[in-house]
Homo-oligomer: A and B are copies of this chain.
Amino acid sequence: MTRIGMACTKCGNNQAFSYDHVTCACGGSLLVQYDMELAAKTMTKQAIQSRPSSMWRYKELLPVSSPEDVVSLGEGWTPLSYMNIQGIGLPVDHVWIKREELNPTGSFKARGMSVAVSLLKERKARYAAVSSNGNAASALAAYAGCAGIEAIVFLPEDCPPLIVQECLSYGARTFRVQGLIQDAGQWVEAGKHLFGWSTVATLKEPGRVEGKKTMGFELAEQLGWKLPSVIIYPTGGGSGLIGMWKAFHELKQMGMIADPLPRMVSVQDAGCSPLVSAMGNHATVLDAPAATGMRVPRPPDIDLLLHILKETGGKAVAVNQVEIDGAQRYLGYRGVSSSPEGAATWAGLLKLCEEGWIRRDDSVVLFNTCHGLKYGKSLGLESVPLLANLKELFYHTS
């Protein structure tokens, strides 16, 4: 058992491990701490290599006590694809894209929920609730279903219909709520007090950050225990960013990596970019924000996110809908199904190249956090030719 307690990211205070008190008296976030010396004994580079191809290969640094409580659907160990960008005039040589859309439930949210639901199983919880822009809800639905725990999910009214459908197909009690994600959050809090639900909302429990941390571990392992110089990540609540930052510090502590931390870049929707504003830049707001995972007006711990961007020499950058649409087309035509959030990282890369912030010798990792299919717009099939005779084939292919 390597889990030994929690520490505050703001004041540094330590406390015992808790399933549901993860905010320090000072307002900072409490993150799980491990016995790193004990972990290092078994979590060696060589040992990991022969373990199953899932994020649970890093089990020593995940907070679940007993293997029997691990709720797994095959999450993690997603491909890191090298992008062929030669000949397109981009002033950078090496770009990879981490294919988080190939997780169960089609998004990176599976990682966090695998750990969060495992902790719920460990504590024998019966109900789990979440407010979400969509993907965290469907991930909770799947993992809770797998564990025999009842999921209750609250989504903004304009959540993409396929994601709502997904929640239902995994058996979650599914509600839509007027307003944005923070409005949905009020219902979870109400249910917690009224019905004793456990909440797995962002930074309300210790598991999700730990699960997302494995994106950082995998990046290091897949690059041969090297780190890229830049990570571009779409940021809503930001727990993925927090998780990866924590992962890199843990690997350093164990002596498994030597590189400096990557400059971490948050990409946001120009219509909703609290981090860009807080970093002292102003986004040009052209549109209302789209209903994506980036639409989080009030991230639960924005101070920690700012700290991470500054500590690593990173940046926050806003991209607009036109740029996102173009990026989605670009990636699609190269065989990668990207969500608006994932496409935003490519758009962010273009912008940072234009600004000269990315250097030619940088190695850059983009994160495609979700499958594009989940945002599927209803298609006017009449726009797709229906062939009836050979003459038409000539017509359409001339």
Contacts and interface: CB of A to CB of B under 8 A. Distances in A.
A53 B53 contact: yes
A161 interface: yes
A387 B174 CA distance: 10
A308 to B, nearest CB: 28
B171 A333 contact: yes
A385 B74 contact: no
Contact of A386 (B105, B178, B336): B178
Interface string A373-398: 11011110100111110100110110
A81 B74 contact: yes
Contacts of A376: 162, 165, 376
Interface residues of A, number: 72
Contact of A152 (B157, B381, B397): B397
A294 to B, nearest CB: 20
A369 interface: no
A162 B104 contact: no
Contacts of A162: 162, 373, 376, 379
Interface in A162-187: 162, 164-166, 168-171, 173-178, 187
A143 B173 CA distance: 38
A142 B335 contact: yes
A103 interface: yes
A387 B195 CA distance: 17
A111 to B, nearest CB: 14
23 contacts: A72-B81, A74-B78, A74-B102, A99-B104, A102-B103, A106-B371, A106-B373, A146-B335, A154-B387, A161-B379, A165-B377, A169-B328, A169-B337, A170-B337, A174-B384, A175-B384, A175-B385, A176-B386, A178-B386, A187-B387, A190-B393, A376-B376, A378-B378
